[in-house]
Structure formats: structure tokens, C-alpha cells
Structure 1
Amino acid sequence: MITVRNLTKKSKEGQDILSKISFQAGDGEFIAIVGASGSGKTMLLRCLAKQEKWDQGQYIYNNQDITSLNIFEAYRLKREWGFLNENPDVDPNKDALKNVLDSRYQHMNWFRKLTRTVSQDEHVFAMDYLEKVGLLDKGRDKVAKLSGGEKQRVAIAKALIKGAKVIFADEPMKGLHPDAQARVMEDLRSVSTRDNGTVFCSLSNLDLAERYASRIWGLNGGRIVLDINGRRLTPRERDMVFS
């Protein structure tokens, strides 16, 4: 469970970028964040992922106040969270399997971390996660040769294998073919429905949000002006978000 109270983020000039945002989000939710350009979608994700400092507000994660964290608490939290960018965080010079295994080393003993060797069990484990995102047949392919959608799905597998319980995805569909967009959205939805994780995903494509998300937030002027279960927005609701 995630609880946020009065999240406020200001610009250097003192203007509100995000203003008094409050919500609760539970396990198994796929939350799409929609809004016009400049509405604050990316900043909200970065604040929630603790990649940006807040000017005000309280952050509760699994009954623990994480508003302020020391370096050790931040490292532990990073192991439980995944962040997906428009440009997937993958190594183009390695194959898909080695990319996924790179996220698994943190769970191995010091010798395997140092030597970068993996057991047969870890190898099979990584292949299982590639299969979850539909890339079992691409495990030995260099990432540089994969399509944009396939690279994004490798990034999702990397987040899942490290044990991410919360995934923050910032415009992960940009530049992807419609078929690839659908597959990535299905993979993200599976994180919530199959793995009971929580997904926050900013989207410019409202249709994708309406089709795949279990919950939709409409952001306008740095505020959540709409918070509904996933469905097609009414004309009035669209005006609230995009006017």
C-alpha cells in the first residue's frame, strides 16, 4: 500500500509544479496518469520514485514513512522498485538474457557478484522471466538488434527479476508501433494482475490508458483532477483533464 499526503513540488522560481497531491494505491493496481504536455506527469512519477526531492508532503510505503531516507534505506527501496523510461535501460552490446541476469546479481552471493558467474538455476530463472514477457526465443539475440518494443519488454523483465513490487513507467510507448504498444501494455498489466504489483504509468495515448489501466488519474496544472476506475472517459472528463 502506498499513501501520499499533500505532495508539493516547486520550481526554482517558487511556482508549483505539483500541488498538494494526495492518494492511496494498493497492490494489484495499474494506474495510468494522463494529461496534456506540461501537466506534471513525468515530475509526478519522478517524485513518487524518489528521484526528485519534494518541497512538502508525506510518503507512506507498506506502513513505513519513507518521506526521508538514509542511504541504506534508499538502496533497499531501490531493489523493490523499478523505473522504466521512454528509452529502455538496457545494454545494447549484451544479449537479452545477460541483460536480465544483470538485474539478478544483487540477489547472488559475493563470489558470483565479483566473478559475474551464474548458476544453472539462475540461468533458467532468467529465461522464465523472458518467457513472461514473450521473449524466450530472443534470449540469445543482441539487444541492439531487437525492436523498440522488444527492448522495452527486456527492461520490464529486468525490473521483475530483481523483485520489483512497484514499477514506475514514464511514457514507455513513445515511438513504438501499435502492435508493440499493445504488447508492452499487456506486460505491464500482467505485473498487476499476475504478480500483484503496483504500476504507475504516464501516457500521452489516452486510448491505451482507457483500454489497459485499472485506474486512471487525470493531471491538470499539477493537480489530480480526475481519479476513476479504468474505462472510457466521458467528454466532460476529457475537458477536465485536457482543457
Structure 2
Amino acid sequence: MIIVRNLTKSYQNHPKVLDKLSFQADEGELITLLGASGSGKTTLFRCLLLQEKWDEGQYIYGGTEITSSSPLQKLKLRKEWAYLEEKPQFNLKQTALKNVLGALLFKKSWWRFLTNSVSQDDHIEAMDYLDRVGLLDKAHEPIEKLSGGEKQRVAICRALIKGAKVIFADEPVSGLNPQAASVVMEDFKTICAREKVTIICSLHQLEAAERFATRIWGLAGGKLVVDIAGRRLTQQEKNHIFG
């Protein structure tokens, strides 16, 4: 689904933040991106989300060469992507259900979004997505009363109900206790397998990457130093990534 060849990105006084990265991300993969601070993880996400231009390289999504696409074509492609922040932004006074419905209506039409026109089918669809991540009993709870892990799962629902085929998750389990983090990562794994969504997830938690990922990428010094099927890393691989 995503093919990148020789992606290179530099900033003034910071040559080659990303240095000729090449990789492929397939449909239904849960990819975890590991790397120390300054390794280039954030810059890579920004490039893949078309928030940053890069110096050279080829970027192909769904068979379309993005680097040579028109702005309108890029806009259409970006509608199939979702970005999950470390701390998702919500209307905290609204319920989990209304936050998910807002994402659904935004996808369907600006008019329905602005007028908050909700049909019975919309309501059922939103409840179904909440059920998929085990939050059906929290549907009518205000977001401000949910735990950090539950908020992340609502964010997952919003991405899915908007029709995302690729999800970029930036440290989605940072600050969560181990149990809550495991629930979120398990949801990611299930979604990838069932919905055939591709999730690329940056993490600090090595154990979570080893336990849940179908593929592990390791960045160090702007280079992709590890690209393996999900498993426990060898000490040599850990040294490559974290020094």
C-alpha cells in the first residue's frame, strides 16, 4: 500500500535528518516505529502525512506516485489517512458517542456536520464502532470522565468511522499504565487484522512493540537500521536502534 524509496530530508544546519529511507507498508500491518529522541521519527511522520516536503525520494500510495501528484490528488489521498496524537483533542463536555458521530458527519457532508443532522443509521454505526473497541458501556459518558486509554480508543473509533485506511499514531500509549496500554495496542492489532487498516505507530515502549507489532522499524541517525517481522529484538538490533 505504501512504498517509499530513498526518502531524504534535511533542515538548515541539520543535514539529512532522514537519510535515504526505503520501506514498504502493506495492508493490514501493525508497524511500530522505534528510535531514540532525535532519530527522525517525528520528521518521518510529517513527511508521510505530507506536512513536510522532502529533498528527494519516491512516495507511492495505493499505486499512485504522490511526489508527482497535483494538490487536488494529494488532498483526496489524505482523506484515507488519519493521525492520532499522543493526547487526542476532543470536545470534553460531549459524550464519547457524540465525538464519534461528529467524525461521521464530517465525512458525509459539511451541511450535516454544521447542522448536526443525525439519522438512526448514523447512531447505530457510531455505537457499533464503540462496541468494537469495548466502549459501548461508555458511549454516553462525557469524554472528560474517560481514562487516557479510553480516550485513545475513542480516537481510534473516529479514525475508522471516517474511513481511514492508514493510521499514523504518535506515541498513542505514552503515559498510560501497562494494562491500558496493552488494551490500546490489542485494539490496534485487531483492527489491522479485521479491517485491513495499516497502522504505523511510534513507540518508546520496546516491550509493546515486540508483543503486538507485525513489523518493527528502527530509526537511528535518520537511517532505517532495523526492518523485521514482529518479534523480540536481539541485543544487537537494540544496539543498532538505541546505541
Superposed pair shares fold, TM > 0.5: yes
Equivalent AA in structure 2 for residue 40 of structure 1: G
Equivalent AA in structure 1 for residue 178 of structure 2: P
Partner of 2:132: 132
Tell me, yes or no, if the aligned pair for 2:102 and 2:113 is still in contact at 8 Å.
no
Q: Matched residues in 1 for 2:133 and 2:230: separation? A: 23
Name the SS of the counterpart of 1:82 in structure 2. Answer: strand
Normalised by the length of structure 2, the TM-score is: 0.95
Per mean C-alpha deviation after superposition, the further-off stretch among 16-25 and 51-60 is: 51-60
Give matches, 1:183-194, under 5 Å: 183-194=183-194
Partner of 1:203: 203
Q: CA deviation at 1:116?
A: 1.3
Q: CA deviation at 1:155?
A: 0.5
Equivalent AA in structure 1 for residue 192 of structure 2: S
Q: Matched residues in 2 for 1:78 and 1:131: separation? A: 27
Q: Matched residues in 2 for 1:40 and 1:114: separation? A: 38
Q: CA deviation at 1:112?
A: 2.2
Partner of 1:26: 26
Structure 1 pair 242–107 and aligned structure 2 pair: CA distance change class (3 A): closer
Give matches, 1:142-221, under 5 Å: 142-221=142-221
Q: Matched residues in 2 for 1:112 and 1:41: separation? A: 37
What is the root-mean-square deviation of aligned Cα atoms in Å?
Answer: 1.4
Normalised by the length of structure 1, the TM-score is: 0.95
Q: Matched residues in 1 for 2:89 and 2:191: separation? A: 18
Equivalent AA in structure 1 for residue 12 of structure 2: K
Q: Matched residues in 1 for 2:166 and 2:142: separation? A: 27
Per mean C-alpha deviation after superposition, the further-off stretch among 34-43 and 125-134 is: 34-43
Q: CA deviation at 1:98?
A: 0.9
Name the SS of the counterpart of 1:15 in structure 2. Answer: strand
Partner of 1:57: 57
Q: CA deviation at 1:69?
A: 4.5
Name the SS of the counterpart of 1:54 in structure 2. Answer: coil
Q: Matched residues in 2 for 1:174 and 1:69: separation? A: 35
Give matches, 1:220-235, under 5 Å: 220-235=220-235
Tell me, yes or no, if the aligned pair for 2:31 and 2:199 is still in contact at 8 Å.
yes
Tell me, yes or no, if the aligned pair for 1:8 and 1:21 is still in contact at 8 Å.
yes
Tell me, yes or no, if the aligned pair for 1:90 and 1:154 is still in contact at 8 Å.
no
Name the SS of the counterpart of 1:104 in structure 2. Answer: helix
Partner of 1:236: 236
Q: Identity, % of aligned pairs?
A: 56
> Is 2:42 the counterpart of 1:46?
no
State the Cα deviation string for residues 118-176 of structure 1 (Å, max 9, x = none): 10001000000011111111111110111111111110000000000000011111111
Q: CA deviation at 1:191?
A: 2.1
Structure 2 spans left out of the alignment, 5+ residues: none
Equivalent AA in structure 2 for residue 174 of structure 1: S
Q: Matched residues in 1 for 2:181 and 2:13: separation? A: 37
Q: CA deviation at 1:107?
A: 3.6
Equivalent AA in structure 1 for residue 65 of structure 2: D
Q: Matched residues in 2 for 1:12 and 1:139: separation? A: 48
Q: CA deviation at 1:16?
A: 1.1
Equivalent AA in structure 1 for residue 8 of structure 2: T
> Is 2:13 the counterpart of 1:16?
no
State the Cα deviation string for residues 173-217 of structure 1 (Å, max 9, x = none): 111111110011011112211111111001001000000000001
Q: CA deviation at 1:47?
A: 1.2
